[in-house]
C-alpha cells in the first residue's frame, strides 16, 4: 500500500460527550451547515495549529494532556 493511502485512511471512533458539549456541537454543526464530525475535526485541527504556533512538541502535548486528565 502506498504511504499517501495510509495517511488518508480514517478510523471510526466513538466519543462519550457531556450533554452541554454535545448540544454545543449540534449548534455549531447546524450554524456552519456541517456535520458533528466536521466540527470535531475543525476543533482538533485548530488546537493542533495553536500548539504548533507556540512551538510545543509532541512530548509537551502529551504531558499537558496527562496533567489535564485527557491522556
pLDDT of residue 6: 55
pLDDT of residue 20: 97
pLDDT of residue 1: 45
43: in domain: yes
Q: What domain range includes position 46? A: 34-71
The phi, psi pair for 56, rounded to 5°, reads -80, 145
51: in domain: yes
Number of domains in the chain: 1
Long-range own/partner contacts, residues 45-50 (CB < 8 A, 24 or more apart): none
CA angle in degrees (0–180, nearest 5) for 68-42-17: 50
pLDDT of residue 10: 82
The model's pLDDT over 17-69, given as tens digits with 9 standing for 90+, comes to 999 999 999 999 999 999 999 999 999 999 999 988 887 665 565 665 566 55
62: in domain: yes
pLDDT of residue 71: 44
pLDDT of residue 40: 94
40: in domain: yes
60: in domain: yes
54: in domain: yes
Amino acid at each position: 500500500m502506498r504511504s499517501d493511502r495510509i495517511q488518508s485512511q480514517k478510523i471510526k471512533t466513538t466519543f462519550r460527550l457531556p450533554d452541554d458539549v454535545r448540544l454545543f456541537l449540534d449548534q455549531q454543526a447546524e450554524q456552519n451547515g456541517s456535520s458533528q464530525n466536521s466540527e470535531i475535526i475543525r476543533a482538533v485541527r485548530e488546537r493542533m495549529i495553536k500548539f504548533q504556533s507556540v512551538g510545543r512538541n509532541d512530548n509537551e502535548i502529551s504531558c499537558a494532556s496527562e496533567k489535564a486528565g485527557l491522556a
